[in-house]
Amino acid sequence: MAPTGDNMNLSFEPVTLSNQKDYRNFLSKMPVKTSDYSFVNIRGWAQEYDLTLAFTDQLLWIKQAKPLEILWAPVGNWKNVDWNTVFHQLSLPITFTRVPEQLVSIWKDCSHISLEIIDERDHWDYVYSIKDLIELRGNRYHKKKNLLNQFLKKYDFTYRTIKSDLIDETLAMQEDWCSWRNCESDETLASENRAIANILQSYRAYEQICGGSIFVNQLITAYTIGEYFSDDTMLIHFEKGCPLIKGAYQAINQLFLFNESADTVWVNREQDLGDEGLRKAKLSYHPSFFLKKFHVKVNDIK
């Protein structure tokens, strides 16, 4: 990819909390919002992917430098952009990752743009009906409902919304979870752990962030960090449970949605990143639909 700093006079800057208001303004104009483009996600993972931002009049550009240099989809009102002009101003060829399906369709409709498009199945978002995940009705949810009921009957628990007073305890639970899963020997888990700590340490500063926790014997045994992502969608960033507590994951999944988002229609539980176990777990909750994303190379302007 051509050096992105030379394109369109783009000036990239670090992702900071001071960017939040401007970032969310661009995000609000996006016709389809996928989990990658949440500000919580962008800042939380900024160090892991070496993400930087460039603001222009119409679009916000995101550059990833690790493990390779590549652009993410521009953020803004894609429908009001003259893409032929935009791509004329870029040094082509140029490559994008995590491009939502609707933006791919818009680019394909531009008659003079030559594209190479590759499905990024590992980055598809899983979106579920919140009503379904709260009620867990029918045979397809039988195992989930059974594990939830076992938890509810066995444990004397308390559900608590995560606010400022629970941040330290949530961080301690995350450290315990990393010990159980031996994060130090798995760079993917270690990277996620750093992102979680980054988000929790700035929890009070994020707009629309929310969380829930389950206490058993006065200790957090499961927690969820989410975000009110749009008028009809809750976004789940992280969900962790104690492996010694049977049904902990089913319980925090159901209780968080019931307590924090029962009036919302959809819950986006992000992608599986190609992990077979995670894919199986996400499919087992029967997603209502996927938000598809693609790897796109813009070769030239015809």
pLDDT tens, residue by residue, 239-274 = 999 999 999 999 999 999 999 999 999 999 999 999
Among the ranges given (4-8, 30-34, 70-74), the one the predictor scored with the smallest mean pLDDT: 4-8
Which residues touch 183 (CB under 8 Å, ≥6 apart)?
189, 190, 192, 193
Answer yes or no: are the C-beta atoms of 245 and 93 closer than 8 Å: no
CA-based nearest residue to 19, from 48, 45, 52, 50: 52
Percent of the chain whose predicted confidence (pLDDT) is above 90: 92
Instruction: Look up residue 50 and give its two tokens.
Output: 């070496």
Per-residue model confidence (pLDDT) at position 97: 98
179 phi/psi in degrees, rounded to 5: -65, -45
CA atoms within 13 A on the CB side of 89: 11
Instruction: Tell me: pLDDT of 211 over 70.
Output: yes
DSSP SS3 for 120: coil
Per-residue model confidence (pLDDT) at position 2: 42
pTM: 0.94
DSSP SS3 for 126: strand
103-142 per-position pLDDT tens digit = 999 999 987 899 999 999 999 999 999 999 999 999 999 9
Tell me the domains of the chain and their CATH numbers.
4-124+292-301 (3.40.630.30), 126-270 (3.40.630.30)
Instruction: Look up residue 7 and give its two tokens.
Output: 């394109």
pLDDT confidence bin for 9, thresholds 50/70/90: confident
